[in-house]
Amino acid sequence: MAGIGGKVSSAGKRNRGSATLARVTVVASSLLLGAAAPVAPVAHGPAPAAKPRYTFTKLAWSDEFNYTGLPDSTKWTYDVGGQGWGNKELQYYTKARRENARVAGGNLVVEARREALEPGNAYTSARLLSRGPGGSQTYGRFEVRARLPGGRGTWPAIWMLPDQNIYGNKSWPDNGEIDIMEHVGYDPNVVHASTHCKSYYFRTNNQKTGVTIIPDATTAFHVYAIEWTPETITAEVDGQLYFAARNEGTGWQAWPWDQPFHVLLNVAVGGEWGGQKGIDEAAFPQQMLVDYVRIYQMKKN
């Protein structure tokens, strides 16, 4: 989400997860606080792998959301505020407020609401980060099973940012962003995966982006994932690969992805991308439901 910084029973989860835990995936293989998302995506299709190079079978960190109440504070922290997040977004992100972020019915619920909790913000929502022991790592498979919100003006994202800003301007975009999933409500069921860095990002309209259509993205759960290696970042939905970005070997300007990154989950309202066609105020509240978040280690074959 170019930007600075812009469900089922427990038994059902275990059954669904068994296939994921057992699978071996092989790939040959934003933020200033919230910069705007791609307006004119540049498609980069994946090429088939010659042979397996990596596997991602060891689960390093997860939250299955098999509890009730606030998100587990040992696994999740919050970004808080309502300054637009670099994208002219309209929501105020709250901290540990059940109305905006809670675990119920086996899911994490991230809810955007039409309410003026803080002056200058007509909406509230939540932005959760997996930073901390195990919730950040360099390389691996990052997998989230989720059902997306709908409604014109919504902008949900499942994405990644670095733990530290060590390159260039010590901020975004120089230190990189990985968008596992972005969706805007005015363009329903069209899902985007992108990478942003100093050499390739949306402000210069040359970001690397893949787009796919998921006909029931807002009514059914799907598994959104990226696999990140020293050579490539690839994205898939339900195991179907639709995006690949490759390391050109030209330095951090084109490949800052060699340091720990963490996962972010949020639902923005409006903004330079999400608000392009206005906001349907009657559509709120809107929820992103997250069944699980799993982070797997990379093993080189």
SS (H, E, C) the chain: CCCECCCCCHHHHHHHHHHHHHCCCCCCCCECCCCCCCCCCCECCCCCCCCCCEEEEEEEEEECCCCCECCCCCCCEECCECCCCCCCECEEECCCCCCCEEEECCEEEEEEEEEEEECCEEEEECEEECCCCCCEECCEEEEEEEECCCCCCEEEEEEEEECCCCCCCCCCCCCCEEEEEECCCCCCCEEEEEEECCCCCHHHCCCEEEEEECCCCCCCCEEEEEEECCCEEEEEECCEEEEEEECCCCCCCCCCCCCCEEEEEEEEEEHHHHCCCCCCHHHCCEEEEEEEEEEEEEEEC
Q: Give the separation between CA 94 and CA 81, rounded to whole angstroms.
A: 7
Question: Residue 109: pLDDT above 50?
Answer: yes
Mean pLDDT of 246-259: 97
Instruction: Write down the pLDDT at residue 205.
Output: 86
Report the mean per-residue pLDDT for the chain: 87
- Number of CB atoms found within 10 A of residue 83's CB: 14
| Threshold 0.75, pTM exceeds | yes
Mean pLDDT of 36-42: 42
Q: How confident is the model at residue 44 (pLDDT cuts 50, 70, 90)?
A: low
Give the residue carrying structure tokens 């994490």.
108
Question: Residue 49: pLDDT above 60?
Answer: no
Specify the higher pLDDT residue, 234 or 11. Answer: 234
Residues acting as catalytic residues? 177, 182
Q: How confident is the model at residue 276 (pLDDT cuts 50, 70, 90)?
A: very high
Instruction: Report whether 200 contacts 41 (CB < 8 A).
Output: no
Question: Residue 41: pLDDT above 90?
Answer: no
Question: Residue 31: pLDDT above 80?
Answer: no
Chain segment 176-231, per-residue pLDDT in tens: 999 999 999 999 999 999 999 999 988 888 999 999 999 999 999 999 999 999 99
Chain segment 121-157, per-residue pLDDT in tens: 999 999 999 988 889 999 999 999 999 999 999 999 9
- Number of CB atoms found within 10 A of residue 206's CB: 12
Chain segment 73-104, per-residue pLDDT in tens: 999 999 999 999 999 999 999 999 999 999 99
Q: Give the separation between CA 204 and CA 266, rounded to whole angstroms.
A: 25
